[in-house]
Amino acid sequence: MAEVLVLVDHVDGEIKKNTYEMLTAARRLGEPSAVVVGTPGTATKLAEGLAAHGAEKVYVAESDDAVNFLSTPQVDVLAALVERVSPPAVLVAGGADGREVAGRLAVRTNSGWLNDLVEVDGEREGTHSIFGGAFTVQSSATTDTAVISWRSGSIEVEENAAAGTQETVEVPSIDAARSAKVSNRAPIVGGDRPELTEATVVVAGGRGVGSADNYNVVETLADSLHAAVGASRAAVDSGYYPNQFQVGQTGKTVSPQLYIALGISGAIQHRAGMQTSKTIVAVNKDPEAPIFEIADFGIVGDLFSVAPQLTEEVGKRA
Amino acid sequence: MNIVVLIKQVPDTWSERTLSDGDKTLDRASSDAVLDEINERAVEEALKIKEAGDAEVTILTAGPDRATDAVRKALSMGADKAVHVNDDAIHGSDAVATAKVLAKAIGTVGEVDLVLAGNEATDGRSGAMAGMIGEVLGWPSLTHANALSVSDGTASIKRETDEGTCDVTASLPAVVSVGEKINEPRYPSFKGIMAAKKKPVSTIGISDLGLDASEVGLEGSLVQVDSFAPRPPKSGGQKVEDEGDGGQKIAEFLVGQKLI
Ligand SMILES: Cc1cc2nc3c(=O)[nH]c(=O)nc-3n(C[C@H](O)[C@H](O)[C@H](O)COP(=O)(O)OP(=O)(O)OC[C@H]3O[C@@H](n4cnc5c(N)ncnc54)[C@H](O)[C@@H]3O)c2cc1C
Ligand SMILES: Nc1ncnc2c1ncn2[C@@H]1O[C@H](COP(=O)(O)O)[C@@H](O)[C@H]1O
């Protein structure tokens, strides 16, 4: 069976859940091979998780250069492997870094790039959800290899014990004069809460929350549900909550089982980032707020009384 | 310094966006079009470099006739001239084909030192054009900049994405993509708007770029759209007035849905 390459998304020696989704999706197309690009010693920490989720092979590309240059090491390693194993597909995580790797790899190997897929079938037919979920688009690559960037949170992860046989591959030496050098890397670590794009439940606050201090109402409810915290752009712009938590067209796209919107009006650009959530609950003072048009359950009321009461109710049932 | 700024006309997100039935491409005629906000920031950044020293700023876009409006807007902000690649053959290009077209078009501007782009357009969301163009040209790409400085043949940025921050440096020529936080773009002045009308815009086709119609557009794309369908809009469910038990009501609903 053909090998399908999956670039492992990892930070601080831990695999991101998205990688497991990609391994699950890769299995439909062939035999998943995980590709680890990192500093020496990285693969050892990741090996077990990769094998448990279906990686028959693990290509280990380790070098200090892996973190000293911007996306070039990943592109170089993947391009060499594409040349060698002619995979029907290469899957890369759909974040900013992953998309950059995907786009460059597509140029380098002259492959079709299927960006932001939420589904792929055994015939390499990919599904995108565009314009904030208003349209579903089916597309495919006309080239031998498809480069796929994967939207996290799109499919259920399947465990699948596999060999996980490790093979060391080279990180090609990088022409420093023609590459972008990186220093002072500071990954954003999410703390104890689940990552926004991977969470099963998201609780988000908007301008209605009123201040940064008040945001603890949102956080407390989120914690009772083991949820990630999100924010509207108005909440971010007003300084209530940090930028990386923004949901919407210019923020993150989330598709959790449950999305709870507190004090968010539901502008089209916000909806673009959350309307494919399976269940939507909204709390808003204004009965005419557009968020109610897409909410499965809405309470017209003050978030400062409804949210704490809900937190308490969830606590009782925990 | 010779700077090229890549700009793109996008459908206004406030208007309805749709796809055309015929060739399954973005139906650009059905929605209002605007200069993408992020591109205004790219233009602003180029103008700041020009004002701090000496630079010529060329606007470059690949798009239909209507993209002229976006070009004029960028010129009215203060850019010097523009190149508009306008060719029916380009219609339907995928990201790889677009990168090839733009890379070739950059070549028409002479010895370019710096290319500035937006990090992610509001329509396509490929969000990788700068890296892809860098790849075609063999130049380094410095992406998602929230600060940029250029000196002694080197570009340095502060990079910021959802995944984290870092510093990136590379020697020129290079491609830089800017993020939302890099600056606040200026409004065109009346004088700027008047001056823009006289600034040179060279409109070229793909043959001027040495490209063949089979290399671009739907034909030259490596990805094909097979079908699309509107998703039935999500309809609202229950909406109840809070009577002091709103939190409990939600909890009951969530229990009913087996969500808690
Ligand atoms: C190009 C572009 C991109 C954009 N990208 C994004 C994006 O990515 N994400 C995004 O979110 N927005 C985005 N926006 C902005 C968007 O248009 C809206 O302005 C924004 O979503 C509004 O945020 P909000 O709902 O929090 O604020 P508002 O619209 O001001 O709504 C606040 C709501 O809170 C309610 N409220 C107030 N007090 C209470 C209370 N005590 N209890 C209950 N309810 C209360 C009010 O009734 C109101 O409905 C973008 C806009 C543009 C032009
Ligand atoms: N057709 C185009 N013409 C000029 N610039 C473009 C074009 N497409 C993309 N770009 C540039 O690439 C950036 C990112 O676009 P995208 O890759 O579509 O998200 C945009 O902000 C522009 O700067």
**ipTM for this model:** 0.86
Q: What percentage of chain B reaches a pLDDT higher than 70? A: 93
Model confidence pLDDT, tens digit, residues B12-66: 665 556 677 777 776 665 556 678 889 999 999 999 999 999 899 999 999 999 8
State both tokens at A229: 């915290």
Give me the DSSP letters along chain B: -EEEEE--EEE-TTS---B-TTT-SB-TTSS-EEE-HHHHHHHHHHHHHHHHS--EEEEEEE--TTHHHHHHHHHHHT--EEEEE--GGGTT--HHHHHHHHHHHHHTTSS--EEEEES--TTT----HHHHHHHHHT--EEEEEEEEEEETTEEEEEEEETTEEEEEEEESSEEEEE-TTS--PPPPPHHHHHHHTTS-EEEE-GGGGT--GGGSHHHH-SEEEEEEEEPPPPPP-EEEE-SS-HHHHHHHHHHHTT--
| Distances, alpha carbon B114 to alpha carbons A248, B102, B135, B139, B141, in Å | 31, 14, 14, 10, 10
Testing the interface with B: which of A11, A99, A281 to mutate, by most B Cβ within 10 A?
A: A99
Measured CA to CA, the distance from residue A295 to residue A262 in angstroms comes to 12
The band of B126, judged by pLDDT with boundaries at 50, 70 and 90, is: confident
Tell me whether the omega of the peptide bond preceding residue A172 falls within 30 degrees of 0, making it cis.
Answer: no
A window 23-62, beta carbon within 8 A of B: none
Looking at residue A129, what is its pLDDT?
A: 85
SS3 (DSSP) at A28: coil
Atom 14 of ligand 2, nearest CA residue: B120
Q: What is the mean pLDDT of residues B224-240?
A: 85
d(CA A318, nearest CA chain B) in Å? 8
d(CA A163, nearest CA chain B) in Å? 30
Nearest Cα neighbor of A157 from A193, A198, A196 is: A198
Choose among A99, A188, A249: nearest Cβ to B128.
A99
Pick the residue from chain B with its C-alpha nearest to A252. Answer: B162
Whether the pLDDT of residue A318 is over 90: the answer is no
Nearest Cα neighbor of B62 from B178, B176, B217 is: B217
Contact indicator for A205, A181 with CB cutoff of 8 Å = no
Q: What is the mean pLDDT of residues B189-202?
A: 96
Looking at residue A185, what is its pLDDT?
A: 92
SS3 (DSSP) at A166: strand
d(CA B64, nearest CA chain A) in Å? 21
Instruction: Give the bridge partners for A57, in sequence order.
Output: A33, A165
Q: What is the mean pLDDT of residues A304-317?
A: 96
- Centroid of ligand 1 to alpha carbon of B137 (angstroms): 41
A131, A207, A240, A262: residue to mutate for ligand 1 pocket, most atoms within 8 A of CB: A207
Model confidence pLDDT, tens digit, residues A130-153: 877 778 899 999 999 999 999 988
Atom 2 of ligand 1, nearest CA residue: A269
Whether the pLDDT of residue B171 is over 70: the answer is yes
Q: Do A99 and B143 touch (CB under 8 A)?
A: no
